[in-house]
Amino acid sequence: MSRIRKFIRLQWHEKLLFCESLLLHLFIGLLLKIVPFRKIPGLFANRQFETPTLEEDQPRHMVSGQQSILVENVKVAVQRAGAVSPWRNRCLVSSLAGRWMLSCRGIQSSLSLGLGKLPDGKTIAHSWLMCWGTEIVPRNGDFTPLYTF
């Protein structure tokens, strides 16, 4: 099935989340080319929210049902937009886009930057995004976290 047909079959709120995520992917990809990387964590830091911060190992049932559904919807939207994103560093762009989307909705998350090794010995960088035990952008392997914000 073509991508356009899949898009047409989405529910209205899924279309809006996808469009938001895709625009953020494009904007953040350009931002990463313009802004020095050392300033990125400050731009995407968690803001102070009135809702309590939940640690990643706390059970998801402590989160309201609507918030849990929202986190899952953001996860799907980020994955869909990441699949059509033109940028090479999709994990970082997707993590920052997901972080922005959650932050705008008053939900804190944890973004990690790490390094891992391929079987041939090459070192690779990866970023992943966690929110209340849900991997918005998956860790996908054995990566050593170097920086989490």
Please report the pLDDT score of residue 33 as a whole number.
93
- Number of neighbouring beta carbons within 10 Å of residue 51: 11
Q: Would you list the DSSP string of 30-77? A: HHHHHS-GGGHHHHTPPPP-SSPP--TTS-GGGS-HHHHHHHHHHHHH
Six token digits for residue 51 = 């809702």
Q: Is the dihedral of CA 46, 49, 55, 58 positive or negative?
A: negative
> What's the average pLDDT block by block, 10 residues per block, for the chain (149 residues)?
82 93 96 92 72 46 76 95 88 95 93 93 94 92 92
Q: Note whether 105 and 112 are within 8 A (CB).
A: no
